[in-house]
Amino acid sequence: MAEQTDIKYIVRIAGKDLNGALTIPRALIHIKGIGHRMARNIAIVFEAQTGLPYDSLVGKLSEEQERKLEEIIVAPQKFFVPSWSVNRQKDYDSGENIHLVTNELDFSIRQGLQRLNEVKSYRGLRHIWGLPVRGQRTRSTHRGKGPVVGVMKKDAKQSAAPAAAAKPAEKAPEKKPAAKKEAKK
């Protein structure tokens, strides 16, 4: 029971409150920009750096170990995490493989979309219009949040039918073109 009291149930790493009762890889998944594979890679590097098993609980880490874990999260390239697991390979601005998390990732994505919009690329325009960007078909899907197109429910048809019947009765000038046809014969 003494071990249960040593656990910090909320641990702040990389600007995110993590559940201290989870293992390191499971807890790191909750940080934006870190998926399953990257969390496991970071945990394995953390094990090599500190000697703690990679599946130990986050709540049992000391403050020094938390700082080391955050250092690995912020700059995984320094600790030889494979470059295929980072989320910004060949970054547009720097040309390097970098890994971004939390607000930096949001800012980078927003900046990339803004750049695409400014140069009016096809991808940028599709993002503006809210359409699929990667070549998916749009005939039956991706119709947006508007009303249904091409399909009318029975209730809507019945209410539209009396309104449509009332409109032609008001329009009297449509009979003139019929008279012109008779004159041509």
Residue 162 domain-assigned? no
Q: What is the pLDDT of residues 17-51, one digit of tens each?
A: 999 899 999 999 999 999 999 999 999 999 999 99
CA distances, 27 to each of 14, 54, 141 (Å): 12, 12, 36
Q: Rounded to an integer, what distance in angstroms lies between the CA atom of residue 45 and that of residue 34?
A: 14
Domain coverage including residue 51: 2-85
* CB-based burial, 45-78: b 16+ in 10 Å, e otherwise: bbeeebebebebbbbbbeeebbebbeebbeebee
Q: What is the pLDDT of residues 127-169, one digit of tens each?
A: 888 888 888 888 887 776 666 666 667 777 777 777 767 665 5
CATH code for the domain in which residue 21 is found: 1.10.8.50
Residue 113 domain-assigned? no
* Predicted TM-score (pTM) above 0.85: no
Residue 132 domain-assigned? no
For residues 174 and 181, the answer to whether their CB atoms sit within 8 Å is no
Q: Rounded to an integer, what distance in angstroms lies between the CA atom of residue 73 and that of residue 35?
A: 12
Residue 147 domain-assigned? no
CA distances, 54 to each of 18, 25, 40 (Å): 16, 8, 8
Q: What is the pLDDT of residues 69-128, one digit of tens each?
A: 999 998 888 888 888 888 888 888 888 888 888 888 899 889 988 999 999 999 998 888
DSSP state of 57: B
**Hey, which bits of the chain come out as E strands?**
10-13, 16-19
Residue 57: band (very low, low, confident or very high) from pLDDT cuts 50, 70, 90: very high
Half-sphere exposure of 37 (CA within 13 A, CB side): 7
Structure tokens at 62: 């000391």
CB atoms within 10 A of CB 99: 22
Per-residue model confidence (pLDDT) at position 26: 94
Residue 101's nearest CA partner among 49, 31, 163 is 31
For residues 13 and 43, the answer to whether their CB atoms sit within 8 Å is no
Residue 31 domain-assigned? yes
What's the total number of domains in the chain? Answer: 1
Residue 78 domain-assigned? yes
Per-residue model confidence (pLDDT) at position 1: 43
Structure tokens at 22: 């989870």
